[in-house]
Amino acid sequence: MSDRKYPDIDFVETDTETIESSLIALYESLVQQVPGRERYKLYPASPERLFISWITSVIVQQRVLINETAKKNVPRYADGEYLDSLAELFKDIERLPASPASAIFRFYISEAQKQSIIIPKGTRISFDGAILFETTENLEIKAGNTYGDIEGVCTTAGEVGNNLAAGQVKEIVDLYDYYQKAENITATSGGAEQEDDASYYERMRESMESFSTAGPVNGYIYFTKSVSAAVSDVAVTSPQACEVDVRVLLQNGEQPTEAVLKEIEDALNASDIRPLTDRVKVSVPQTVPFDVDVTFYISQPNAASAAIIESTARQAVEDYISWQQSKMGRDINPSYLTAKLMEAGVKRVEVRKPVYTVVDDIKVAKLGSKTVLNGGIENV
């Protein structure tokens, strides 16, 4: 969608001075119509003036509420249920619910059998007794094999099931024939909370592209984001005629698993979404590695707050890393790191790494090593 910036709007005047001046002028004009009071003036300390000031404060409060209520009829200002209600203007777009994390699980049997072994859909595997994953369909371990792979999804929607490393989810809950062991062979990812207002509004705007039958870039972006609230960024290119290359990045800069990519690819290849001549491929973005190596210094007058400034500075580095990795095509920019650290209250910064690097639209920056040093206290 267009990056056009819209001006801020107010539906009614809320400036206290303007409203009070208007009330004073009106009161004076009314009193001056009384015979003998044609030269009447309202002085600052008069009881009437104090009363008008009080009335002005009441009017301003009411107008602020009117403004806020009226703005909620404009999608870019709306939030919560107001935004949900306005969605019917955008092809009945609904807010995406929380989505569960998923991973590929490998189920082993004790020895190869002469016939297929079926592990039923819904077989559960636990991480800690509270976080559970279950298989999405029946798994057939064919005769002669000792294991089979299948997708498993977290039984609790949201981010709770994310970031479990391969091999961490391995406590079987529902035993199956010839059970030996079961575990996730990929890291768990793709879980997301309910779509927030900012993402929901942006997807509403992108939905207008879905009316086209020609396969526009923003149409593919919209349909990709509609698969899961975990999708935070999408890049769409066409390397050559009739080929559509879709790159997907999840929240917090996470790379989607094969299961998530397949779900998106299936959605984009639906007959009512993909133009007949398009060949769609969905994959993860290419990565451009970068390192962080910085030293920051604290000024002598702020020495008493050195511990707080250090903590804030280290958090600023983490915020920079998150920002740098969260969007495709975002150039590796050490100036932004410097700005974040200066905002944290340090005196000066030495940034040895990263160096400025251009990142293509289908690539994303990926952190390598990180070194953050406190250079100590310096004189002003």
Place of tokens 């119509």: 33
Closest C-alpha to 52, from 16, 15, 20: 20
Asked whether the predicted pLDDT for residue 308 surpasses 70, the reply is: yes
Asked whether the predicted pLDDT for residue 276 surpasses 80, the reply is: no
pLDDT at 2: 46
pTM (predicted TM-score): 0.62
Closest C-alpha to 102, from 228, 5, 200, 6: 228
Closest C-alpha to 17, from 66, 69, 62, 53: 53
The pLDDT confidence band at residue 3, using thresholds 50, 70 and 90, is low
- What is the DSSP secondary structure assignment for residue 373, as one 8-state letter? E
One-letter amino acid for residue 315 of the chain? Q
Asked whether the predicted pLDDT for residue 300 surpasses 50, the reply is: yes
Place of tokens 């479990």: 164
Asked whether the predicted pLDDT for residue 101 surpasses 60, the reply is: yes
CA distances in angstroms from 280 to 222, 287, 327, listed in the order given? 15, 21, 21
- Examine residue 354 and say whether the peptide bond preceding it is cis (omega within 30 degrees of 0): yes
The per-residue DSSP string of 307-361 comes to HHHHHHHHHHHHHHHHHHHSSTT--B-HHHHHHHHHHTT-SEEEEEE---B---T
pLDDT at 4: 58
Asked whether the predicted pLDDT for residue 17 surpasses 70, the reply is: yes
In angstroms, rounded to a whole number, what is the distance separating the alpha carbons of residues 118 and 176?
8
Asked whether the predicted pLDDT for residue 82 surpasses 90, the reply is: no
Q: How many helices (H) and strands (E) does the chain have?
A: 8, 14
The pLDDT confidence band at residue 379, using thresholds 50, 70 and 90, is confident
The pLDDT confidence band at residue 218, using thresholds 50, 70 and 90, is confident
Q: What residues have CB less than 8 Å from 295, skipping those under 6 apart?
A: 349, 350, 352, 373, 374, 375
pLDDT at 1: 46
What 3-state class would DSSP assign to 160?
A: helix
Q: What is the mean pLDDT of residues 15-24?
A: 92
One-letter amino acid for residue 366 of the chain? K
CA distances in angstroms from 160 to 99, 190, 325, 367, listed in the order given? 10, 10, 21, 23
Phi-psi region of 91 (alpha: psi -120 to 50; beta: other; left: phi over 0): left
